Chain A
Amino acid sequence: MSFIWSLVIFSGLVALVLLGVEGAKLEGLFGIWLPYAAVGIFVGGLIARVVNWGRSPVPFRIPTTCGQQKSLPFIRHARLDNPATGLGAAARVALEVLTFRSLFRNTKAQLTQDRRLVYGSEKYLWAGALAFHWAFLVILVRHYRFFAEPVPVVIGWIQGLDGFFEVGLPVIYATDVVILAALGYLLGRRLADARLRYFSMAADYFPLFLLLGVAGSGVLLRYVWKTDITRVKELAVGLASFRPVLPEGLGAMFYVHLFLVCALLAYFPFSKLTHMAGVFLSPTRNLANSNRARRHINPWNPPIVGHTYAEWEEEFRDKIKAAGIPLDRE
Chain B
Amino acid sequence: MAGAGGRPVTKLGTWLQQRRASVLERWFELVIATYPPESAAFLRGERDRFANPIGSTLRRELPALFDAVFGEGDGEEARRAVAAVIRLRAVQQLSPAAAVSFVPLLKRAISQELGAEEGARAAELLTLHAQIDELTLAAVNELVECREQVYRLKAQEARAQVHSLLRRAGMLVEAGVTDDGKGGGGE
Q: A–B direct touch, CB within 8 Å, in complex?
A: yes
Smallest CB separation, B51 vs chain A (Å): 7
Smallest CB separation, B2 vs chain A (Å): 39
Asked whether B41 lies within 8 Å of A120 as measured between CB atoms, the reply is no
CB of A75 within 8 Å of the partner chain: no
Q: Which of A112, A193, A197, A198 contacts B48 (CB 8 A)?
A: A112
Asked whether B46 lies within 8 Å of A120 as measured between CB atoms, the reply is yes
Expressed in whole angstroms, the Cα–Cα distance for A120 and B48 within the complex equals: 8
CB of A72 within 8 Å of the partner chain: no
CB of A64 within 8 Å of the partner chain: no
Asked whether B41 lies within 8 Å of A113 as measured between CB atoms, the reply is no
Contact with B along A154-195 (1 / 0, CB 8 A): 000000000000000000000000000000000000000111
Q: For residue B38, which residues in chain A have a CB less than 8 angstroms away from its CB?
A: 194-195, 197-198
CB of B59 within 8 Å of the partner chain: yes
Q: For residue B46, which residues in chain A have a CB less than 8 angstroms away from its CB?
A: 120-121
Main secondary structure of the interface of B (DSSP, over half): helix
Asked whether B60 lies within 8 Å of A195 as measured between CB atoms, the reply is no
Smallest CB separation, A223 vs chain B (Å): 36
Answer whether A194 and B48 are a contact pair too, CB < 8 Å, given A113-B56, A113-B59, A113-B60.
no
Q: For residue A108, which residues in chain B have a CB less than 8 angstroms away from its CB?
A: 48
Q: For residue B41, which residues in chain A have a CB less than 8 angstroms away from its CB?
A: 193-195
Give residues 32-57 of B contacting A (CB, 8 Å).
37-42, 45-49, 51, 56
Smallest CB separation, A66 vs chain B (Å): 17
Expressed in whole angstroms, the Cα–Cα distance for A194 and B56 within the complex equals: 19
Asked whether B42 lies within 8 Å of A118 as measured between CB atoms, the reply is no
Expressed in whole angstroms, the Cα–Cα distance for A121 and B42 within the complex equals: 10
Smallest CB separation, B86 vs chain A (Å): 20
Asked whether A110 lies within 8 Å of B40 as measured between CB atoms, the reply is no
Expressed in whole angstroms, the Cα–Cα distance for A109 and B48 within the complex equals: 9
Beta-carbon nearest neighbor of B59 in chain A: A113
Give residues 59-107 of B contacting A (CB, 8 Å).
59-60
CB of A295 within 8 Å of the partner chain: no
Q: Which of B37, B42, B47 contacts A112 (CB 8 A)?
A: B47
Contact with B along A73-106 (1 / 0, CB 8 A): 0000000000000000000000000000000000
Counting contact residues on chain A (CB < 8 A from B), the size range is: 10 to 19
Q: Which of A113, A116, A195, A197 contacts B42 (CB 8 A)?
A: A195
Asked whether A194 lies within 8 Å of B59 as measured between CB atoms, the reply is no
Contact with B along A111-126 (1 / 0, CB 8 A): 0110010101100000
Q: For residue B49, which residues in chain A have a CB less than 8 angstroms away from its CB?
A: 112-113
Expressed in whole angstroms, the Cα–Cα distance for A121 and B45 within the complex equals: 9
Contact with B along A189-214 (1 / 0, CB 8 A): 00001110110000000000000000
Asked whether B47 lies within 8 Å of A194 as measured between CB atoms, the reply is no
Q: For residue A193, which residues in chain B have a CB less than 8 angstroms away from its CB?
A: 41
Asked whether A194 lies within 8 Å of B40 as measured between CB atoms, the reply is yes
Asked whether A110 lies within 8 Å of B39 as measured between CB atoms, the reply is no
Smallest CB separation, B113 vs chain A (Å): 21
Smallest CB separation, B57 vs chain A (Å): 10
Expressed in whole angstroms, the Cα–Cα distance for A195 and B39 within the complex equals: 6
Asked whether B56 lies within 8 Å of A120 as measured between CB atoms, the reply is no
Q: For residue A194, which residues in chain B have a CB less than 8 angstroms away from its CB?
A: 37-41
Asked whether A118 lies within 8 Å of B47 as measured between CB atoms, the reply is yes
Best-surrounded residue of B40, B42, B48 (most CB of chain A within 10 A): B48
Contact with A along B6-43 (1 / 0, CB 8 A): 00000000000000000000000000000001111110
Q: For residue A116, which residues in chain B have a CB less than 8 angstroms away from its CB?
A: 47
Asked whether B39 lies within 8 Å of A118 as measured between CB atoms, the reply is no
Expressed in whole angstroms, the Cα–Cα distance for A113 and B53 within the complex equals: 12
Asked whether A110 lies within 8 Å of B45 as measured between CB atoms, the reply is no
Expressed in whole angstroms, the Cα–Cα distance for A122 and B143 within the complex equals: 35
Expressed in whole angstroms, the Cα–Cα distance for A195 and B35 within the complex equals: 12
Expressed in whole angstroms, the Cα–Cα distance for A120 and B37 within the complex equals: 20
Give residues 112-148 of A contacting B (CB, 8 Å).
112-113, 116, 118, 120-121
Beta-carbon nearest neighbor of B45 in chain A: A121
Expressed in whole angstroms, the Cα–Cα distance for A195 and B41 within the complex equals: 7
List 5 A-B pairs, Cβ < 8 Å: A110-B51, A113-B56, A193-B41, A195-B39, A195-B42
Interface residues of B (CB under 8 A from A): 37-42, 45-49, 51, 56, 59-60
Question: 5 nearest interchain CB pairs?
Answer: A198-B38, A112-B47, A110-B48, A194-B41, A118-B47
